[in-house]
């Protein structure tokens, strides 16, 4: 992926593949999320190197892309993870799964999330995806309205099950 400059309400936003050096900033964005905190996602993490091992696995997989967005005066103000999923359903369609979209609280409502998600949809299409899908916690009403405004439809009910 090459470096991409987007305009988010007149501000240049650099979208790029995350590097190992970005992992602490990405984890900080994820940890500050109130829904993730309420689930206890980060309470039991005692081995910070687990994040770097996960990053290495993501970065080595050609079907995965961890993205960060930088402003000229602020690095890593947003992140998301993209996964291309080839399948037999829908006549052999490839889906783009969008996960862990986060924009730093200080930089919200500036068009960054919208620019990032629109870019993801365009990148998905460039890479051969015919459908973009994502899940959002049922308590995130503002996020749901945001995704619907961008053309997403709440078409399915999702299920999760913890393992281990």
Question: If you ran DSSP here, which 8-state letter would residue 69 be given?
Answer: E
CA dist 30 and 38 (Å) reads 12
> Which one, of 162, 37, 7, lies nearest residue 102 by Cα?
37
Which whole number is the average pLDDT over 49-77? 95
Identify the residue with better confidence: 19 or 9: 19
pLDDT of residue 42: 67
Identify the residue with better confidence: 32 or 129: 129
3-state secondary structure of 7: strand
Non-local CB neighbours of 5 within 8 Å, separated by 6+ positions: 12, 13, 14, 15
Which whole number is the average pLDDT over 113-138? 95
């Amino acid at each position: 992926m090459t470096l991409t400059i987007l305009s988010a309400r007149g501000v240049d936003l650099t979208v790029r593949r995350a590097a190992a050096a970005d992992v602490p900033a990405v984890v900080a964005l994820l940890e500050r999320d109130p829904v993730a905190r309420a689930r206890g996602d980060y309470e039991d993490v005692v081995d910070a190197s687990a994040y770097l091992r996960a990053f290495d696995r993501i970065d080595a997989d050609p079907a995965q892309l961890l993205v960060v967005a930088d402003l000229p005066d602020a690095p890593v103000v947003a992140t998301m993870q993209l996964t291309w999923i080839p399948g037999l359903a829908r006549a052999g369609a490839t889906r783009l799964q969008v996960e862990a979209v986060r924009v730093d609280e200080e930089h919200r409502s500036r068009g960054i999330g919208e620019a990032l998600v629109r870019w993801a949809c365009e990148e998905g299409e460039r890479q051969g995806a015919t459908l973009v899908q994502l899940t959002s916690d049922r308590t995130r009403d503002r996020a749901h309205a945001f995704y619907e405004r961008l053309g997403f439809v709440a078409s399915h009910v999702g299920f999760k099950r913890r393992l281990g």
